[in-house]
């Protein structure tokens, strides 16, 4: 016998719209799938979870599995996996600067590389860019992440060395650009000279740097 109280209930991707028909002792219901397709499904299959959709769920799983297989070992996959390791693996060399300080990854990304990859490609991922957190005291989630160049990423590290000179404060990398002094040369100077001398000495004088 039809159970009209089932109308509006959702099982997997399927929402029951109305009773359809019976066949012997089996009751079938008209359903609307999340993807928009209609389906007629026996109530027992819905309640046991043996049918979750009009068929699109299985297709999605196949596509997701193939995508993971194709991208496993890719640069993007390694970026995702390395971020997880920094946050959750105490044996990772970077854990003390991430997981130990409370840096985490959102559940959506942690549970699905596909979700992370979809966000990456929709937000400018390229092989010459790095994953960067806008705020270093917050974790890996869409609103706090972006794709940036290596230099921008380096400038955003919490352990950067900031130097104030003539009332301006910048990282060494930024000072290198502003002063037009090669970064490695500037590092040597700052480590061995006064800031005044390091920043104002003629650029072509090496003096055993």
Total number of domains in the chain: 3
**Conformation bin of residue 124: beta by default, left when phi > 0, alpha when psi is -120 to 50:** left
82 and 134 fall within a common domain: yes
**C-alpha distance from residue 199 to each of 181, 183, 191, 208 (Å):** 9, 12, 12, 16
175 in any annotated domain? yes
CB environment 122-155: b (16+ within 10 A), e (fewer): eeebeeebebbbeebeebbbeeebbbbeeeebbb
Tell me what pLDDT residue 175 has: 78
Q: Phi, psi (5° rounding) for residue 47?
A: -70, -35
142 and 87 fall within a common domain: yes
Terminal Cα distance for the chain, rounded: 90
**C-alpha distance from residue 43 to each of 18, 25, 33, 58, 127 (Å):** 11, 11, 15, 19, 49
Q: Phi, psi (5° rounding) for residue 182?
A: -50, 140
Q: Quick one: which of 94, 100, 96 has its CA closest to 81? A: 94
Written as tens digits, the pLDDT of the chain (209 aa) is: 556 688 999 998 899 999 999 988 889 999 999 888 999 999 999 999 888 898 887 776 666 666 666 677 789 989 999 999 999 999 988 898 889 999 999 999 998 888 898 899 889 999 889 898 988 889 999 999 999 887 665 655 555 667 888 888 777 777 777 788 887 888 888 888 988 888 888 765 444 44
Instruction: Domain of residue 122: give its range.
Output: 72-150
82 and 145 fall within a common domain: yes
50 and 88 fall within a common domain: no
146 and 170 fall within a common domain: no
**Conformation bin of residue 73: beta by default, left when phi > 0, alpha when psi is -120 to 50:** left
41 and 87 fall within a common domain: no
61 in any annotated domain? no
């Amino acid at each position: 016998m039809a159970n009209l109280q089932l109308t509006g209930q959702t099982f997997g991707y399927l929402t029951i719209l109305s009773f359809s028909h019976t066949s012997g002792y089996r009751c079938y219901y008209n359903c609307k799938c999340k993807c928009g397709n209609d389906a007629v499904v026996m109530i027992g299959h819905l309640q046991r979870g043996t049918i979750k959709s009009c068929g699109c769920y299985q297709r999605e799983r196949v596509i997701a599995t193939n995508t993971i297989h194709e991208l496993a070992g890719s640069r993007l996959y390694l970026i995702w996996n390395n971020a997880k390791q920094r946050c959750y693996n105490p044996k990772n060399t970077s854990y003390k600067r991430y997981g130990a300080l409370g840096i985490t990854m959102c559940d959506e990304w942690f549970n699905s590389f596909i979700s992370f990859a979809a966000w990456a490609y929709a937000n400018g991922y390229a092989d010459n860019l790095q994953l960067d957190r806008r705020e270093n005291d917050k974790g890996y989630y869409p609103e706090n992440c972006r794709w940036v160049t290596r230099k921008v990423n380096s400038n955003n590290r919490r352990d950067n060395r900031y130097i104030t000179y003539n009332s301006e404060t910048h990282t060494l990398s930024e000072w290198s650009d502003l002063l037009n002094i090669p970064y490695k040369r500037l590092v040597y100077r700052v480590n061995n000279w006064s800031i005044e001398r390091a920043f104002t000495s003629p650029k072509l004088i090496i003096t055993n740097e």
